[in-house]
């Protein structure tokens, strides 16, 4: 069982449904791949993105965690989802758009494995297709690692996200959910997720082996800067 299998039933309570992110992705897709009809999500998790994107696209998703896939089947019944590793998947089909959102690539903890994700995404794209993924930057992970931990108090739950830096570029993300069970008693559920940060120039150099145009997008700013925390890579071309 991987970390997400253990934590699956608490995951949505910690991160929410994130409709705003799905709509932002839809905007990017409309801008950069206006004619796209088919879409594959790498690391689709509990299906929050597929729920919204499957309204417009013939959508498919893969995830390493069978428990997350069970949730995705319920949340996004129109999408076809299956268990699979984004560093090794192989489908007979090709897609107009491939997305890998919400720092899923940071969960891949070696850069050679990131390279396999890029090569594989490229291999599975139709001519004119687009590959969109986002990363947690070092600026974000350092802020989380150095600032005091914060908690969100909901009706019957308290969620806590705590990030520790192991060494440069390597972090441990501790997701915790305290869930009310009886009266004032809360049970602690938690999981530790290792994340790898890769500097943007290194990512761009590798992507240039496959794509002729990569547009960087910071959803929180007009232009990406050193303070960018979530950085989207929109990869296109050459075909």
Q: Of the two residues 109 and 225, which places its CB atom closer to ligand SAM in the complex? A: 109
* DSSP SS3 for 111: helix
Q: How many CA atoms lie within 13 A of 89 on its CB side?
A: 27
In the complex with ligand SAM, which residue's Cβ is closer, 39 or 68?
68
User: What region, left, alpha or beta, does residue 186 occupy, with left being phi > 0 and alpha being psi -120 to 50 degrees?
Assistant: beta
Binding stretches for ligand SAM (CB under 6 A): 4, 43-45, 48-49, 63-65, 68, 85-87, 101-104, 107-108
Min dist CB 72 to ligand SAM, Å, is: 9
Token code pair at residue 235: 């990869």
Q: How far is the CB of 178 from ligand SAM (least distance, A)?
A: 20
Q: What is the spatial distance between Cα 115 and Cα 161, in angstroms, rounded to a whole number?
A: 28
- Nearer of residues 32 and 102 to ligand SAM, judged by Cβ: 102
Distance CA 19, CA 28 (A): 14
Chain residue at closest Cβ approach to ligand SAM: 45
C-beta atoms surrounding 197 within 10 Å? 20
Integer Cα distance of 40 and 124 in angstroms = 9
Least gap, CB of 81 to ligand SAM (angstroms): 11
What is the rounded distance in angstroms from the CA atom of residue 110 to the CA atom of residue 169?
11
CB of 127 to ligand SAM, least distance (A): 25
In the complex with ligand SAM, the residue whose CB is nearer, 117 or 207, is 117
Q: How far is the CB of 3 from ligand SAM (least distance, A)?
A: 8
Whose Cβ is closer to ligand SAM: residue 96's or residue 230's? 230
């Amino acid at each position: 069982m991987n970390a997400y299998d253990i934590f699956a039933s608490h995951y949505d309570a910690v991160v929410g449904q994130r409709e705003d992110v799905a709509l932002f992705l839809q905007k990017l897709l409309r801008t950069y791949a206006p004619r796209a009809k088919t879409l594959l999500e790498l690391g689709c998790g509990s299906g929050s993105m597929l729920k919204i994107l499957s309204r417009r696209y013939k959508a498919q998703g893969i995830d390493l965690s069978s428990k997350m896939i069970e949730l995705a089947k319920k949340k996004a019944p129109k999408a076809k989802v299956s268990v699979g590793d984004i560093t090794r998947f192989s489908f007979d089909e090709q897609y107009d758009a491939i997305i890998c959102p919400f720092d899923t690539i940071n969960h891949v903890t070696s850069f050679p494995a990131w390279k396999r994700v890029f090569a594989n995404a490229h291999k599975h794209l139709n001519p004119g297709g687009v590959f969109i993924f986002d990363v947690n930057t070092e600026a974000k992970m350092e802020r989380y690692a150095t600032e005091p931990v914060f908690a969100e108090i909901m009706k019957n739950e308290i969620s806590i996200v705590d990030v520790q830096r192991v060494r440069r570029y390597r972090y441990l993300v501790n997701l915790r959910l305290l869930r009310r069970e009886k009266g004032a008693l809360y049970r602690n559920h938690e999981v530790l997720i290792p994340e790898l940060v890769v500097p943007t120039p290194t990512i761009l150099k590798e992507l240039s082996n496959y794509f002729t145009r990569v547009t960087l997008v910071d959803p929180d700013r007009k232009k990406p800067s050193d303070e960018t925390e979530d950085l989207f890579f929109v990869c296109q071309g050459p075909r």
